[in-house]
Amino acid sequence: MRRLVITAIALFLGIIGSTAQTTIDPALREEMGKRGDDEKIKIVVLMNEQSDARALSREANFFATKQERRAFVVETLKRQAETSQAELLGLLEEMKQHDMVADIQSLWLVNAISCQATKTAINSLEQQRGIKTIAYREETQWIADGEVKSAVKNGDRDIAEFLYQIDVPPVWDLGYTGQGVLVAIIDTGVRLDHEDLAGRFWDGGSEYPNHGYDFYYNDNDPDDIYGHGTEVAGIVCGTGAGGTKTGVAPDATIMVLKAFRDDGVGEETPWVAAMQFAIEHGADVLNMSLGRPKPEPAQKLMMRQACDNTLAAGVIAAACAGNVGSVQFMIPVPQNIYTPGDCPPPHLHPDQMVNAGGTSCVVCVGSVLSDNGFNEISSVGPSQWMDVAEYNDYPYTAGSTTEIGLIRPDICAPGNELTTLDHGNNSGYTLFSGTSAASPCVAGTIALMLSKNPNLTPAQIDEILENTALKLTEHKSNNFGSGVVDALAAVNAVDYDNVEEAELQSVQVYPNPTTGSFTVSCEGMSQIDIYAIDGRLVRSIRADRDSYQIDGLESGVYMLQVTDGSSSFVQKIIKI
């Protein structure tokens, strides 16, 4: 009977999807050949309908505040996933009832569904409409063993030496310590009772009582067994309560997002789930001291799509370049940089413009020694995106002066035996090396910049970081990027602090939603513009009085922008 039910489901899928162009990724096809008929394989289903991150970003630019921009992007991506995944989720739930599928999870940051499925289910899904690719969720080491086997150093009530190397203490003297900035640590978890992190954790309320979530084991316990995430957190905001101040931004707040197994092994879907959680819950900066070496095109596509949409939401990420620079005979250029570190930055450096392409949220961070010499383990660029058809940018040809690939990294930071927190007890310290140690130096510096001006965009942050870095080469290079991060120079380059919200506070729009007309009232307004959700200007009024009635709009969702010449107000309006 069970086989008859499975056959019926397979036939149904074939009927409704007879014109589908779905592909099973070669790595998954190979894995299917090794498995028994009843074994479930971890897969991710990428939907055909993916957001155009550039268009989404242009639409989000209509919003006056970062919070409104983020809410718009999150809502748009969720709506896309909900509508395009509905039919497939129903089918997967039906297959789950017959033990063909398990662990179904919908992702909206990338329009995808992860699950475990039998070969019969996978072959049936291949016939379903609306699917681009079905890929194998292959687990591999994202966080290297060598980075977390460090010698213990006892606290001696001082400031860690690397903080002087990047000129952090003078920034504290200016009053900028990361206050008010939320940094998401996407890693192996964090030791929650380390005294140097007391008071620095995000308040997740009763729903997330342990200051984050564990997306690998799918529970509310993001405690760090491996050690890596604790060491990263210490460089972001270790307060020095146990003896040595190790944090670049000691007053920043951290959100603990565990995305990997307790030995640093993982795959893309928990990482994407952690990213979308961070975005939805207000993180200002992501630190990603992690990466997959040489991913398959389907994995690489998924990871860049996530980083592109993160940028559209106005969120920046510091990501490590990787620690395989000394083994280029195994992992040669242009594959030497980990993904997502090989994704493009928010701002394109002038040296990149000869071979420009798209942008994403990623500031890629390489590693230097204590004397700013090159750390040989640090991965080197360029990277390229010609192997992912959906992007097909940053071509690389060895020796070419035009097809130079994507220059990686963007910037460097100390990455050799940095003093940070030991996860083995609640008061100790350890020495931490690699680009995983360099990345939180940059994430912490970004937190310092945002504590001066919380309205900085990712592109502005990246441009400032690169322009103010200590130059080690004449041009941006594939060893050092634009140079070594200089926290004081970066913060001083931020134009202003105590920024007032560039928003009119007295605008009234009513009724909203409406079946008829809207009334817009605001003293001193000079312009009213109404845009369709796709960015088209549908109504423009040069205002010379304090109240207007807007009628004649077709049913739909619009963006209303009201300006007075120097500030603006943006709000979604709905005509039913």
What count of other Cβ atoms lies within 10 Å of the Cβ of residue 347? Answer: 20
Over 90: is that where the pLDDT of 298 sits? yes
E strands within 338-458? 362-368, 411-414, 418-421, 429-432
- Is there a single domain that holds both residue 239 and residue 329? yes
More confident residue, 12 or 189: 189
Across the chain, mean pLDDT equals 91
Q: Would the pLDDT of 315 be above 80?
A: yes
Say how far apart CA 558 and CA 529 lie, in whole Å.
Answer: 10
Beta carbons of 27 and 296 less than 8 angstroms apart: yes
User: What pLDDT does residue 410 have?
Assistant: 98
Please write the tens of the pLDDT for every residue from 86-98. Answer: 999 999 999 999 9
Q: Angle at Cα 162 formed by Cα 158 and Cα 163, nearest 5°?
A: 65
pLDDT computed for residue 544 by the predictor: 87
- For position 185, what pLDDT does the model report? 98
**Residue 486 pLDDT > 60, yes or no?**
yes
Q: How confident is the model at residue 249 (pLDDT cuts 50, 70, 90)?
A: very high
175 shares a domain with 126: no
Question: Are 440 and 317 in the same domain?
Answer: yes
**Which residue, of 138, 168, 195, is where some domain finishes?**
138
CB-based contact 331:383 (threshold 8 Å) = no
- Rounded Cα–Cα distance for residues 123 and 32 (Å): 10
- Are 364 and 513 in the same domain? no
CA–CA dist 572, 558 (Å, integer): 6
Q: State how far the Cα of 106 lies from the Cα of 165, in Å rounded to an integer.
A: 44
Instruction: Name which of 143, 217, 137 is nearest 185 in CA terms.
Output: 143
Same domain flag for 111 and 41: yes
Q: Is residue 6 scored above 60 in pLDDT?
A: no
Residue 500 lies in a domain: no
Confidence check: pLDDT of 575 > 50: yes
Domain boundary among 493, 522, 549: 493
Across 165-179, 259-273, 478-492, 540-554, least confident range: 540-554
Dist CA 18 CA 132 (whole Å): 14
What is the domain-level CATH number for residue 112?
A: 3.30.70.80
State the CATH number of the domain containing residue 432. 3.40.50.200
Decide: helix, strand or coil at residue 401: coil
pLDDT at 145 over 80: no
pLDDT above 70 (res 236): yes
Lowest mean pLDDT among 16-20, 105-109, 255-259, 318-322: 16-20
pTM given for the model: 0.84
Q: Do 224 and 85 fall into the same domain? A: no
CA distances from 426 to 194, 421, 423 (A): 4, 9, 7
Judge if 409 and 536 occupy the same domain. Answer: no
Q: Which of 354-363, 373-382, 434-443, 563-572 has the lowest mean pLDDT?
A: 563-572
The CATH number for 520's domain is 2.60.40.10
**Is 502 a domain residue?**
no
The answer as to whether 77 is a domain residue is yes
Q: For the chain, what is the domain count?
A: 3
Per-residue model confidence (pLDDT) at position 534? 63
Q: Are 152 and 425 spatial neighbours (Cβ–Cβ below 8 Å)?
A: no
**Strands of 143-252, DSSP E:** 158-159, 182-187, 212-214, 244-245
Which pLDDT band holds residue 312 (cuts at 50, 70, 90)? very high
Residues 149 and 133 in one domain: no
Q: For residue range 14-67, what is the model confidence (pLDDT) as tens digits?
A: 333 334 466 899 999 999 999 999 999 999 999 999 999 999 998 898 888 899
Indicate whether 246 and 123 sit together in one domain: no
What is the domain range of residue 410? 141-493
Higher per-residue confidence, 531 vs 372? 372
Q: Is residue 58 part of a domain?
A: yes
- Residue 504 pLDDT > 80: no
Q: Are residues 132 and 158 in the same domain?
A: no
pLDDT band at 535; cut points 50, 70, 90: low
Same domain, 67 and 94: yes
Say if residue 413 is in the same domain as residue 550: no
| Residue finishing a domain among 493, 519, 545 | 493
Answer for the pair 216, 271: CB distance below 8 angstroms, yes or no: no
Tell me the mean pLDDT in the region 272-301. 96
Give domain status of residue 155, yes or no.
yes
Residue 501 within a domain: no
